[in-house]
Chain A
């Protein structure tokens, strides 16, 4: 260990209590940031995963332009065959969907609703709706003449299980699309929009009613690791027919609201974190300032011996770096311990399961462990802490040896 490093380290321990108190403040804020950031990002992952699982999926193959203008004519030819090829290529959850619009009528009421044709056997792999049927059952077969509808829509239409639903819309070729199907299931997806509007039909039935032939509007992929989604997307794109003007959409494009909500929440949380960091920084600044002021005489002697103000300032900066590192290492240790614990055990509080359950979310959040989540907060604190030492270090430039030596 060099003499300068030894010098700086020993200077820290001139006042052990003060050093420990300052290191504790840094450690506490680092612990808090690691814990909160890992939990926050864990919550975002949960939110994304849960939202995508309900209906959207992680990736969707669509006809170019369908996302912006979802016309019934913008179809994927032989969509089920393409979906089967993707399943064969090892993608774990792939389902085909078609979507149109119709006037849904019960005995007394009518509503304009989106009607979705799904493959019942595969829809369960990409959507939680089949598992969230609260009355009756989900669609039985791709050719069955039946429908499931959202709970709010059922209430609005005053439809019960077994009642018939009349759908009247326009087919792909412009013909009238009309059918009468019994309601075999009512679902509560946790997404109010879906529950208020959605009607699902088996895909083949939908294709018959809406004159779609074997076309569909989307191939939904799910069950992929979000961290390696870009690589998976490249593999999907490589398997798309080049002559059909198809495009692969990522979840951020399909559900931009989630990303925006996460960004807004992140800004709000970082504002809170920055306030915490600034408060800690000022307490550290106070410590450094005291440390420099009480050593004015010593700095005067060092100046007299020929040390430059820059050299003495560097020593003060080194001391602050060591102190910050001490606090941050302790904080990262404690924060990582908490994060690892809550990663495996999950974080919850009384009433959380009921609260989150309303939105289809599980009642427990698992902290997200990664190099970034464990180091981002402490790195920001480190930068602020070292920056806090700049002011006292720069004050040294103003010292004159003769005045400093005679300082009390």
Chain B
């Protein structure tokens, strides 16, 4: 059941325990979090602090051991597989650290791919893809395959792919980790622009102090717990 709320993401008492050779690893412990609409939030913390696990749970890529997760009014932790896939398709965009573009598709085809899954008509999705690629500064590179693009350009394609279907939420797991500092800064400016122009909630994770500075809210995690929740200007 879809419920309208002011928060894009709500987590209540969320824990995630992995089993590794009969040993319980507590990746997340009793997380409570509200992420308002249009927020631009950064998750930071050392490796193993639970950043990626938290993003995976919010994105419905994994299920919590206990607790409730609501995205755009829908209980992610209770949805069956098919419904979860539909939620990801229509409501959530992903940007991965390793870009993860489909290597045999061109830049524009990668962007069109999600819209094709949504059943958008060919002409409409082509027009939208061209527009968003222009917006991320890749005009003229539409026909190039990922192997023919730089890391920064590939990540821009990934951002375009995540945003093109106008999701409520974009999750970016260390989007700048494979980029040099200049390119990383440009990318973050692009994400801020997308957040402002497209009214999309952004949650991203990073280690990088300079990247954190772009966020309006910084959540620090340590050993699977939120240790700091800082609002910034």
B-side residues, CB < 8 A to A, are 56, 59, 61-62, 82, 85-90, 94, 96, 100, 102-105, 109, 112-114, 116-118, 161
Sorted nearest first, the 8 A-B pairs with minimum C-beta distance are: A306-B89, A10-B104, A402-B61, A306-B88, A301-B100, A402-B62, A401-B61, A402-B56
- Complex CA gap A297/B102 in Å reads 10
Report B168 CB to chain A, min CB distance, Å: 13
Q: Which of B61, B114, B118 has the most chain A CB within a 10 Å cutoff?
A: B61
Take A402-B61, A402-B62 as given contacts and tell me if A306 and B56 are in contact as well, using a CB distance cutoff of 8 Å: no
Report B211 CB to chain A, min CB distance, Å: 21
Whether the pair A10, B105 counts as a contact (CB closer than 8 A) is yes
Report A239 CB to chain B, min CB distance, Å: 65
For chain A, residues 2 to 37, give those with C-beta under 8 angstroms from any C-beta of chain B. Answer: 3-4, 6-7, 10-11, 14
- Complex CA gap A10/B145 in Å reads 12
Is A263 in contact with chain B by the CB < 8 A criterion? no
Whether the pair B59, A304 counts as a contact (CB closer than 8 A) is yes
Report A89 CB to chain B, min CB distance, Å: 64
Whether the pair B56, A307 counts as a contact (CB closer than 8 A) is no
Is A372 in contact with chain B by the CB < 8 A criterion? no
A-side residues, CB < 8 A to B, are 3-4, 6-7, 10-11, 14, 297-298, 301-308, 311, 400-402, 405
Checking A3, A301, A307, A402 against B112 with a beta-carbon cut-off of 8 angstroms, the contacting residue is A3
Whether the pair B104, A305 counts as a contact (CB closer than 8 A) is no
Whether the pair A306, B86 counts as a contact (CB closer than 8 A) is yes
Take A7-B104, A405-B61 as given contacts and tell me if A301 and B96 are in contact as well, using a CB distance cutoff of 8 Å: yes
Report A81 CB to chain B, min CB distance, Å: 76
Whether the pair B116, A4 counts as a contact (CB closer than 8 A) is yes
Chain A residues within an 8 Å CB radius of B102: 7, 298, 301-302
Checking A11, A305, A308 against B113 with a beta-carbon cut-off of 8 angstroms, the contacting residue is A305
Chain B residues within an 8 Å CB radius of A301: 94, 96, 100, 102
Known contacts A3-B112, A10-B105, A304-B59; 11 further A-B pairs (Cβ under 8 A): A298-B100, A298-B102, A298-B103, A303-B85, A305-B113, A305-B161, A306-B87, A308-B82, A311-B117, A401-B61, A405-B100
Main secondary structure of the interface of A (DSSP, over half): helix
Chain B residues within an 8 Å CB radius of A304: 59, 61, 88, 94
Report B232 CB to chain A, min CB distance, Å: 29
**Residue of B whose beta carbon sits closest to that of A10:** B104
Take A405-B61, A405-B96 as given contacts and tell me if A305 and B117 are in contact as well, using a CB distance cutoff of 8 Å: yes
- Complex CA gap A302/B113 in Å reads 9
Checking A11, A298, A305, A405 against B88 with a beta-carbon cut-off of 8 angstroms, the contacting residue is A305
**Residue of B whose beta carbon sits closest to that of A6:** B109
**Residue of A whose beta carbon sits closest to that of B93:** A305
Take A305-B89, A401-B61, A405-B96 as given contacts and tell me if A7 and B117 are in contact as well, using a CB distance cutoff of 8 Å: no
Report A193 CB to chain B, min CB distance, Å: 67
- Complex CA gap A298/B102 in Å reads 7
- Complex CA gap A2/B191 in Å reads 31
What are 9 of the A-B contact pairs (CB < 8 Å)?
Answer: A4-B116, A6-B105, A7-B102, A11-B104, A297-B100, A298-B103, A301-B94, A304-B88, A306-B86
Chain B residues within an 8 Å CB radius of A306: 85-90, 114, 117-118
- Complex CA gap A226/B230 in Å reads 91
Report A16 CB to chain B, min CB distance, Å: 13
Chain B residues within an 8 Å CB radius of A311: 117
- Complex CA gap A26/B112 in Å reads 34
